[in-house]
Each structure stands twice: as structure tokens, then as C-alpha cells.
Structure 1
Amino acid sequence: MERRSVWRKVLLGLVIVLAVGGIGAAVATLTAYHEATKIDRSVPEVVVAEYLRAALQNKDEVGVDLYTCQDPSALAPMSALIDELAKREHDFGVQVIISWGALNRADQSGQVRIQTDLTVTAIKDGAEESSSQQRWQFGLVEEDGWRVCAAEQGPMPSASPTPSPSIAA
């Protein structure tokens, strides 16, 4: 009888250790997963790149919401661009591909402005139909990390010829 009691205690102790270990492993796994998938809004340039990826490439409204501020009304110009490009895809039977260049940052009294050039390329039957560039500026505000709150299209700089030095004879 005593032998059974000892084995029961050992078995119960083993079950308790395994249960606590399993719970600890589950908590550690969930914590690691949360950290690995956490949205990084600490760098304004990264936030703009992720916003552009969600809005223009993935067409993911949920993804867009992760990187925009609570009042996205100043993002109407970007929404208009998205709608226009979708209409062109439908009307002309093309695929529109959008990429962007360097993200240039300017800090202004609690706000950050990021400027970039978007390249809009229309592809039809595997061939490039047209390509254009647009300069855009994005305003970001610190709201539980950086958030895109404004977008406006700006003028492209005009190409002015560089004067060449005259050669003296």
C-alpha cells in the first residue's frame, strides 16, 4: 500500500511539473510571437513605406488603417489617386504597378514630413504601356507611434540644364 502511495505522489508531481512547464512554454511562445509580429511605428520612413505598400501595392484597407491617424481626412488626395488608378486599370485593361524612390524626411515642430517620388507604370499584355512620376509629400504625427495623417501631390522639379563652363581659347 505504501509503495502505491509513493508512486502516486511521484506521478502527481511529474504531472504538475509537466503542466507548469507546458503553460510556461505556451506563454513564452505567445510572447515571442507577439514581439515578432508587432507593428513597428517607431521610424517615420518605415511607416510611410508600409502605408504605401498597403495602400498602393496590396490594396489592403486593414493594413492602411494600421499606419494612418485617427482622422484620415487629409489623406483624400491619396484616396483619389487610388480610385483613379483602379478606374484606369478597369477602363484600359492594364495592370498598374506603383513603386517609390527614396523617402526624404523633414522635421517641423512636432510633425514629420516625408517626400518621395511615386513611379506609376501601366502594363498591358506583359509590355510597358506608359510610365510617369509623381512627387508626393506625407505628413506624420506621433499617435501611439508615427502615423500618416496627410498626403499631397507636389510639383515635380523642372529639369533645368546645367550651364557648362565656357572654354577660353
Structure 2
Amino acid sequence: MASVLVAGGAALGEGPGGAQDGPETVLRAYVQATLSTNDSAAAATVTCREPNLTSMQDWQLDLSQRRQRFALPALAADVTSYQSVATGRRVNATADVAVTLMTNGQPQERVTRPFRFTLVSENGWKVCGAAPTE
């Protein structure tokens, strides 16, 4: 299996998704942990106490099932076109989530979906909500 971007494994305050990181970095860490690596422990470190992330979790499940059923190659996920508005301890953001099929480390096919995200400050920024915008 090819290498993919990895955002998991960092302790709070270290690396992507740490306690000192801004909302965009935390969102990238969440998306990569959820869609690229299926690392629920890493995703949990950047998720708020009471999240509403069903749409991302459903997409992750769909991607996992397709990868198994069709023997698809590795996935790399990223956030593009990030825009946000901060209001105190809350950030409302829009971004495109791009998932790229990888074979031998080379991109093969890319799917992009627009999402609306909510991030809150809970001992560092945490992803709290996600919903597709189309």
C-alpha cells in the first residue's frame, strides 16, 4: 500500500492538531485522520466534547467500504479553499475536502466535496460540526 499523509499520533501541543494550533491546522488534522488514515484516536484528539460529525463519518465509512470491496489504493485527504469567520471561541468555516486515490504514492483520481465546519475552543481548537454544502 502506498504512503499517505499522516496527521495522527501527535500529543496535544505537538505537531498538527496540537493544543496551540489554529483552526485550519486542526481541521486538516481531523480530515486526514478521519479520511486518509481511518485513525479514530487521532481524530478524537481534535474533536470537541459533543460533536455533530455524522456526514464526515458517513463519508469515511463509504470510502472504507469501497476500498475493501473494489481493492482501491490508498487515499490522501486534504482541505482546500479554507475560509472562516471567528466569533469569540467559535469559528465557522467553509472548505473543500479533497480525497485523492493514490497508487504507489502517485495521485490517480481526486474527488472534492464542499463542507461547512464548526470549530470551538476547548483547551485548543476542536472540530465540532461538519455538513456538506451541496
Deviation at 1:152, TM superposition (A): 0.6
* Cα drift, residue 143 of structure 1: 1.2
Cα RMSD for the two superposed structures: 2.7
Match of 1:61 among 4, 25, 40: 40
Tell me the percent identity. 23
Say which structure is richer in strand.
Answer: 2
For structure 1, which segment, 134-143 or 109-118, has the greater mean C-alpha deviation from structure 2 after superposition?
109-118
- What TM-score does the superposition give when structure 1 sets the normalisation length? 0.60
Q: Quick one: distance in 1 between partners of 2:89 and 2:13?
A: 29
From the CA coordinates, give the structure whose radius of gyration is larger.
1
Alignment of 1:127-146 (within 5 A): 128=108, 130-146=109-125
The letter for the 2-side match of 1:82 is Q
Structure 2: stretches of 5+ with no match in the other structure: 1-10
Correspondence for 1:114? 93
Between the two structures, name the one with larger relative contact order (CA 8 Å, sep ≥ 6). 2
More helix by share: 1
**In the alignment, does 2:81 pair up with 1:102?**
yes
| Number of the residue aligned with 1:50 | 29
Displacement over 6 Å in runs of 4+: 124-127
Cα 1:87–1:106 change in 2 (3 A) is same
Structure 1, unaligned runs of 5 or more: 1-33, 156-169
Aligned residue pairs, count: 120
Match of 1:93 in 2: 71
TM-score by length of 2: 0.74
